[in-house]
Amino acid sequence: MPTKYIIVTGGVLSGLGKGIAVASIGHLLSSRLKIVPIKCDGYLNVDPGTMNPFEHGEVFVLDDGGEVDMDFGHYERFLGVTCKSKWNLTMGKVFEMVRQKERRGDYLGKTVQYIPHVTDVIKGHIFQVVEEEKPDLVLVEIGGTVGDIENELFLEAMRQMKEDVGKQNIIYVHLTYVPIPHGVNEQKSKPTQQSVNLLKQRGIFPDIIIGRCSQFLTKEVRAKISNFCDVQPKAVITGLDVDDIYEIPIIFEQEGLPEIIHKKLNIYSPPDLRKWKSYIENIRHPTKEITVAMCGKYTRLEDSYASILEAFNHCSAHLRCKINVKWVETTDLENARVLEGVDGILVPGGFGSRGTEGKIEAIQVARERNIPFLGLCLGLQLAVIEFARNVCGLQGANSTEIDPDTAYPVIDILPEQKQITDKGGTMRLGAYTAMLKEGTIVRSLYGSAKASERHRHRYEVNPEFHEILQDNGMVFSGVSKDGRLVEFIELPDHKFFVATQAHPELKSRMEKPAPLFYGFIKACLG
Ligand code: GLN
């Protein structure tokens, strides 16, 4: 069977959940097909690693060290695949490739132009991924909305693909918005018509339209969209507003999306949502409830911590417990009081010095009051600082990221990082294996002597302080293979005080919640 392609574009508004829609389509088709998701982003950053989480939400990190769009989190969780850095194509990467080719002389004698040279690079990249992975189906998500200048070249490349791969092997799905204006109380199809017109002007004629709406689309509005946009009535699908994103595959199945795709692409891969539904049932009908304080500085934007919230959902599905998140903004914190009554304290990753003292205070509260604590990356580093200051008596201990002149640099930059001046893609990134110490909580949670988790950091526990920390009772429950880097710490004689230099939330899946999260939530449940 030739590789099939589904190209997903968006219109009217951003933030309609295109990533979730793509992941859900993938989920529904994954039973018999090998699927590769590819995301095209129009910005000129090479990757989102250099963007602030407020700008772009969480930076997702892959096994291979790629810093990619957070939609890759949805792809991995919904499709059960391990994605590769190459599958995120940004305009920054495209222009970099074009420039390299031009300098190398690949275009010698020619005027280098958007069409065909840039569009060829885009298509060439996708075909290279296909060559490497040999998938049955490629799902291409075009970021942004049709009409954005920065997406024009991607759209043009997608239009051209039809000729390259044969029209029987490719379909176009367009996600739009169907508003119900206040007072009018009627589903309106005009924005969809206009956005499909924009798409048609670019030579792309959608086969399927998904209308995001707060209700199921009415027969009338389906007929209207079908008529004006020239798609079959059956191919107009409701993208219903839902409380949790896990319901989207179920809605799409109900709406008959898999059959339409099967027919149009001549494939067959029937969905099996039984297990998925049972997880959702557990999330919806919890038998217990806890509150976890999330102590961070990006708490204004929940997307900054998307994978952590997903890992919580995965725990909810297995432990049938509702996890309330209490967002604690550590830049303006009177911790002790805010933390009253919470069942657990989580300190997530972060950069820079803003808000760190508040987090350290929260960690002290967790340690002294025997409240379950989970520290992630910066969370581990701050737990070490708190312990150094308040248990080991190293007054003013700090990380050199926060206070370069500290007398006790218990957290210091990795030696291999010292010479690096470029900021993009230069951290310690991707999956690394840690060796776990026998008899520790961490080892029992992983049920193995090794654990591989993803990383994104420049700083580490300074080896000069390993001894004093351990002498005072901190247990290094996991270290790098060469024993040099501390990957996991824990405190004995505490309900649950565990932290890791890694980001285990990135590999958490519905079928298998991240072990540390599972242990943490269980401890919160008491
Ligand atoms: N800023 C810290 C470092 O670079 C922690 C990074 C993180 O939490 N991801 O090491």
Quick check: is 377 catalytic? yes
In a domain, 279, yes or no: no
pLDDT tens for residues 204-244? 999 999 999 999 999 999 999 999 999 999 999 999 999 88
For ligand 1, atom 3, which residue shows the shortest CA distance?
Answer: 457
In a domain, 428, yes or no: yes
Asked if residue 43 and residue 96 are part of one domain, the reply reads yes
Of ligand 1's atoms, which has the minimum distance to the CA of residue 376? 8
Say yes or no to pLDDT of 118 above 70. yes
Give bridge partners of residue 373 from the DSSP assignment: 345, 497
Across the range 72-77, mean pLDDT stands at 96
- Look at residue 147 in the predicted model and tell me its pLDDT: 93
Q: Which of 251, 272, 293 is where one domain is finished?
A: 272
Q: How far is the CA of 308 from the centre of ligand 1 (A)?
A: 16
Among 456, 486, 487, 500, the mutation site with the greatest number of ligand 1 atoms within 8 A of its Cβ is 456
Amino acid at 438: E
Asked if residue 464 and residue 347 are part of one domain, the reply reads yes
Give bridge partners of residue 5 from the DSSP assignment: 138, 170
In a domain, 277, yes or no: no
- Look at residue 37 in the predicted model and tell me its pLDDT: 98
Residue that is written with structure tokens 């957070």 in the block: 70
- Look at residue 511 in the predicted model and tell me its pLDDT: 93
Say yes or no to pLDDT of 298 above 80. no
Say yes or no to pLDDT of 134 above 80. yes
For ligand 1, atom 5, which residue shows the shortest CA distance?
Answer: 378
DSSP state of 116: I
Asked if residue 148 and residue 219 are part of one domain, the reply reads yes
Of ligand 1's atoms, which has the minimum distance to the CA of residue 460? 10
Number of Cβ within 10 Å of residue 186's Cβ equals 12
Asked if residue 298 and residue 263 are part of one domain, the reply reads no
Q: How far is the CA of 458 from the centre of ligand 1 (A)?
A: 6
Amino acid at 192: T
Instruction: Give me the CATH number covering residue 111.
Output: 3.40.50.300
Name the nearest CA neighbour of 518 among 416, 422, 449, 445.
445
Name the nearest CA neighbour of 317 among 268, 351, 277.
277
Which stretches within 46-146 are classed as H helix?
A: 53-56, 71-79, 91-104, 119-133
Q: What distance lies between CA 91 and its chain's CA centroid?
A: 20
Of the residues 377, 401, 453, 524, only one is catalytic, namely: 377
Q: Which of 229, 244, 272 is where one domain is finished?
A: 272
- Look at residue 388 in the predicted model and tell me its pLDDT: 98
Of the residues 247, 295, 505, 524, only one is catalytic, namely: 505
* Token pair of 65 as six digits: 């060290």
For ligand 1, atom 1, which residue shows the shortest CA distance?
Answer: 351
Percent of the chain with pLDDT over 90: 87
Pocket of ligand 1 (CB under 6 A): 349-351, 377-378, 401, 456-459
In a domain, 278, yes or no: no
Q: How far is the CA of 340 from the centre of ligand 1 (A)?
A: 28
Name the nearest CA neighbour of 414 among 430, 401, 423.
401
CA distances, 91 to each of 8, 105, 412 (Å) = 17, 21, 35
pLDDT tens for residues 420-437? 888 888 889 999 999 999
Backbone angles phi, psi at 434, to 5 degrees: -115, 150
Across the range 241-253, mean pLDDT stands at 93
As a whole number of angstroms, the distance between CA 178 and CA 184 comes to 13
Give me the chain's average pLDDT, please. Answer: 94
Number of domains in the chain: 2
Q: Which of 272, 305, 325 is where one domain is finished?
A: 272
Of ligand 1's atoms, which has the minimum distance to the CA of residue 459? 10
* Token pair of 470 as six digits: 């351990």
Of ligand 1's atoms, which has the minimum distance to the CA of residue 352? 1
| Residues in Cβ contact with 41 at an 8 Å cutoff, skipping those fewer than 6 apart | 48, 69, 88, 89, 90, 91, 143, 144
Q: How far is the CA of 330 from the centre of ligand 1 (A)?
A: 16
Asked if residue 323 and residue 223 are part of one domain, the reply reads no
Q: What distance lies between CA 358 and its chain's CA centroid?
A: 26
- 414 CB burial (10 A radius; 0-12, 13-18, 19+): middle
pLDDT tens for residues 327-377? 988 876 665 678 889 999 999 999 888 889 999 999 999 999 999 999 999
Asked if residue 370 and residue 250 are part of one domain, the reply reads no
Number of Cβ within 10 Å of residue 328's Cβ equals 24
In a domain, 416, yes or no: yes
Asked if residue 328 and residue 196 are part of one domain, the reply reads no
Say yes or no to pLDDT of 280 above 60. yes
Domain interval for residue 430: 285-525
* Token pair of 21 as six digits: 């829609």
Q: How far is the CA of 125 from the centre of ligand 1 (A)?
A: 32
- Look at residue 424 in the predicted model and tell me its pLDDT: 85
For ligand 1, atom 9, which residue shows the shortest CA distance?
Answer: 349
